[in-house]
Amino acid sequence: MKKNSSLAWNLDAIPWNSIDFELMRQRDDLFYLITAASFVEIAAELYADNLATYFCDDQEIVDWLQTSWKKEEVRHGQTLRKYVETVWPEFNWETAYADFYNEYSKKCVISPYGSSQALEMVARCVVETGTATFYEALAALTSEPVLQGITLNIRAEEINHYKNFYYFFNKLVSDHPVSRLRILLTIMSRLIEARNDDSECALWHVYCHDNANVSEPNKAEFKKIYGLLAKTIKGHYPVAVAIKMLIKPLRLPTEVKNLIQLN
């Protein structure tokens, strides 16, 4: 199987003192995106336990989820949290996260593809495609060297997560085949689900606490900010990479891939 990327980097290895504060302090867009990402990453701990329970009949999967995946996702969150707390110390990360977690943990259940473990792996590949490409876009959005280093390191691990989930998908599907149509439907459903799910919930709580002095958070203003952030990411989004990763579980014949120039 694909191995987990080495734990070659950690919080202590990051040159926090080298952060270019002047470059970052004006970047409200990055403050929102990084803080929301830190929330979702740290909360992966909860999802990892749900997933491990779901795959409890396969020790190889459970071991990888618990010893590599969960730890790496949580470390992504902790790293981003430290970056946020270093650059924007006035933001109360702890309180904002507590509110986010309160809402997120209620809806964090195994996705509805439970009828097939292989399809759950397809769904996980979609999620990892989303995170890998998100961090690639984030790295392109800033010239601040410390943040760039962090996002590129995280991106590399998200790609490795994708490879592991894809490996498990192949393993499961060889025992219990599923049709290409069901795989395609899973990819599409997960994409639609992802569009308005975790990230919006996280960004909402960042917004509420960024405006903690305002008695009533303004939903219309939040929608405007959300739209602007989506547009910002879109401008740097690696579309070709995303398509290639998304359709990989379809295992299209080489001729078809050549036809749509994906090789």
Kindly write out the interface string for residues 66-85 of this chain, putting x where it contacts Fe ion by CB under 5 A and - elsewhere.
-------x--x---------
Look-up of token digits 């459903």: 189
Q: Give the span between the Cα atoms of 92 and 74, in whole angstroms.
A: 19
Q: Which is nearer to Fe ion, 113 or 134 (CB)?
A: 134
Q: Quick check: 161 binds Fe ion (CB under 5 A)? A: yes
Stretch that binds Fe ion, among 55-63, 105-113, 153-161, 207-215 (CB under 5 A): 153-161
Q: Quick check: 248 binds Fe ion (CB under 5 A)? A: no
Contacting Fe ion (CB under 5 A), which of 158, 166, 204, 248?
Answer: 158
Q: Which is nearer to Fe ion, 81 or 161 (CB)?
A: 161
Q: Are 86 and 146 in contact (CB under 8 A)?
A: no
Name every residue whose Cβ is closer than 8 Å to that of residue 235 and which is 6 or more positions away in sequence: none
**Which residues from 5-64 bind Fe ion, rule CB under 5 A?**
41
Q: Quick check: 155 binds Fe ion (CB under 5 A)? A: no
Q: Which is nearer to Fe ion, 128 or 198 (CB)?
A: 128
- Least Å distance, CB 14 to Fe ion, is 16
Instruction: Choose among 158, 188, 176, 175: nearest CA to 250.
Output: 188
Q: Give the span between the Cα atoms of 123 and 193, in whole angstroms.
A: 10
- Least Å distance, CB 77 to Fe ion, is 7
- Least Å distance, CB 150 to Fe ion, is 11
- Least Å distance, CB 123 to Fe ion, is 13
For residues 108-128, one letter each, b for 16 or more C-beta atoms within 10 angstroms of the residue's C-beta and e for the rest, the string is eeebebeebbbbbbbbbbbbb
Q: Quick check: 120 binds Fe ion (CB under 5 A)? A: no
3-class DSSP state of 142: coil
Name every residue whose Cβ is closer than 8 Å to that of residue 143 and which is 6 or more positions away in sequence: 23
Neighbours of 102 (CB within 10 A): 10
- Least Å distance, CB 179 to Fe ion, is 27
- Least Å distance, CB 25 to Fe ion, is 25
Q: Which is nearer to Fe ion, 41 or 144 (CB)?
A: 41
Interface with Fe ion: number of residues (CB under 5 A): 6
Q: Are 148 and 34 in contact (CB under 8 A)?
A: no
Sites of contact with Fe ion (CB under 5 A): 41, 73, 76, 128, 158, 161
